[in-house]
Amino acid sequence: MHATPERIADRYELVDTISTGGMGRVWRGYDTVLDRPVAVKVIRPDLVADPRLYDEYADRFRREARVTARIESPGVPAVYDAAVDKDKGSLYLVMQLVRGVSLADTIDESAPMPVPAAAAVAAQVCAALAEAHAVPVVHRDLKPGNIMVADDGTVKVLDFGIAAVLRTDVTRLTHTGSMLGTYAYMPPEQVRGAPATPGSDLYSLGCVLYQMLTGRTVFPADYTHFQLQVAHVEETPSPPSAHVDGLPEDLERLVLDLLAKDPEDRPATAQDVHDRLVPHLPRPDPLAPDKPLPPGALPDPTRPYRRPVPLRPRATVPSPTKPLPSTLVDATAATPPIAGLAPGELTEADGHAQALIGEGRFAQAIGVLDDVIDPAVSVLGEESAQVVELRLLRANALAISGDARRALPEFTTLADILQRQAGPQDERALICRQQAVYCMAQLGETTRALHEAEGLLERFRRVSGDRSEDVLDLRREMVLWRLRSGDTERASSELPALYSDLRAAYGPGAPETRQVADLLDRLGRGRLGRSRS
């Protein structure tokens, strides 16, 4: 059985630990009210164990939350909630949970990074810093470990919780005399103990950009902490071109300007740095194919520039209203040992996820399935019956919860697997393709959705006839997509037959029939409206 997670404020469940830092622990959590995963930062219990200091730390923590919440940037995880649970002695901050890979891991695997990728990361960091510096807040510990490249390629700057607030009416959040920052990325003025400024963050960004472009830290990795401090104050760094060929001269000049010892010799603002990075960013190409990342691949930070976020479609596409037909899997069948999973954990995860879905806790069900599917695939293979059933369950949960971007590649892959296993007319394979098409439309890819739907409609008709529920649903959605894309003439030509078939299948008062009747009236088909009376 799954252990009951600890719950804070009778709302936030603490699932597992993400990281532990000086001020506390960050948990992957779950918001039971809004059905969404969250990150929950809980201050270290030993820091608030002394009742004489509790109020001081509570005030400090509230202040941290308010400061962080004022940074309104897509590049900084949103703050959802902050509270003090005096009965439990807990202080907690609830934030957006970011799924992705830390820049530190990205550099370890792929440095030196291509210029467009490095520029894309740095430019997105600049956007976040510009918003923070306007609050005004200085990060003071910018480093690859505090930068996350999310799965969609967006970059998030983490841990503004140790930020120094520049406003004079706010007490510093750190202990007097403590030194914040990581030595490899620490600006000279911070080494000397002088107050950090926005220019201090830009120096640290220069260290990060240098490492992305060269695969090396600015000063040797084997330096001691003391040697690193001396180097930041006194040593001139080698130019990036000493370590890698072909770097644009203006980009190298920017890196060296950021690493200037005197803050006044650095670029004036994060916006200025961003502007100098623009020539090295990839050009927008929204019509280029946008293939999902294969499992294990690193997120692509250039994606937000190549494919700017499209407008949300005017009309929403309904989520699937019925689950995919299930093929029973023998829960008692012997399963080879799977590293990281206990015996029987796949069956337990299946039942747990189904129960959560039944309660409307889709995000938590998806998390349960995410934890077991990859280990299962590595041992059983992606086409094993157990893996397919778990992935079907996850795909449905993703679609019903509105996460079309993750659901689309999942439905497409499952349709291919089921078609190989049971043939092109397999009911579950067809329904997976149908849901994939719906996801495309939900993501605004209307032309692609219509193209895929044309062939799928004929396959459905051969299997179940022209008035089956699946065929009628798909025909109705296709008409709506044509209207959305401006093809009013073809939509108008398809509406009368669709209305006739819906009326015969569901009756004149059914919501689907009435929707199409309203469309006919709006398109000026008055005589058809009279014939329906």
Catalytic: which of 31, 141, 300, 501? 141
**Peptide bond preceding 267: is omega within 30 degrees of 0, i.e. cis?**
no
- Residue whose token pair is 């969250």: 38
Cα separation, 309 vs 290, whole angstroms: 12
Pairing, β 137-138 against β 79-85:
unpaired
Phi, psi at 475, each rounded to 5°: -60, -40
Please say whether the dihedral angle defined by the alpha carbons of residues 23, 24, 28 and 34, taken in this order, is positive or negative. negative
- Residue whose token pair is 């329906």: 532
DSSP string across 311-324: PPPSSPPPPPSSPP
3-state secondary structure 367-416: HHHHHHHHHHHHHHCCCCHHHHHHHHHHHHHHHHCCCHHHHHHHHHHHHH
DSSP strand E in 151-297: where? Answer: 155-157, 164-165
Please list the residues that pair with 79 across neighbouring strands.
95
Cα separation, 406 vs 385, whole angstroms: 21
Cα separation, 72 vs 135, whole angstroms: 9
- Residue whose token pair is 């293939």: 291
The token duo for 73 is 């940037």
- Contact (Cβ atoms closer than 8 angstroms) between residue 92 and residue 44: no
What's the half-sphere exposure (Cβ side, CA atoms, 13 Å) at 477? Answer: 29
Cα separation, 135 vs 320, whole angstroms: 43
Is 473 a catalytic site residue? no
Q: What is the DSSP letter of 223?
A: -
Phi-psi region of 181 (alpha: psi -120 to 50; beta: other; left: phi over 0): left
Please say whether the dihedral angle defined by the alpha carbons of residues 349, 352, 354 and 359, taken in this order, is positive or negative. negative
- Contact (Cβ atoms closer than 8 angstroms) between residue 214 and residue 112: yes
Number of Cβ within a 10 Å radius of residue 10: 8
| Helix pair 446-464, 427-442: axis angle to 10 deg | 160
Catalytic machinery residues: 141
